[in-house]
Amino acid sequence: MTILLEDDVRDQINEQLEYAYEDEGIGTYEWHGSKENDVCMRMRLTDDVAMVEYTTDKDEMIYVNITGYLRDIETDQELDWVAELESAEYDHPHYVAKYKVYEV
């Protein structure tokens, strides 16, 4: 039996998550008579909630909550997330655990 460590589950979740950049800047504004434009690009999950599944052996632990983060190497930005167990079903010979993943 192979023990599925929390880091292994976190890696599997990270592999399945997708993100995009959104502009959270204030947009155009006027500053002492000059027109300016504020752009602030932030990483966001493509959906507010993502479903993630992983398979584990029957005798292994299924994690209820897992925290992690995604890092974009090119921009050096991070997106923190938490995964909460939604359901776990035994499908011989494995468990399939479904998580909802939220940005934090």
Q: What is the pLDDT of residues 50-98, one digit of tens each?
A: 677 777 766 667 888 999 999 999 889 999 999 999 988 887 777 788 8
Q: Which of 38-42, 45-49, 74-78 has the lowest mean pLDDT?
A: 45-49
Q: How far apart are CA 78 and CA 82, in angstroms?
A: 13
Closest CA to 69 of 21, 24, 11: 11
3 state SS of 46? coil
pLDDT at 1 over 50: no
Residues 7-22: pLDDT tens digits? 888 888 888 899 999 9
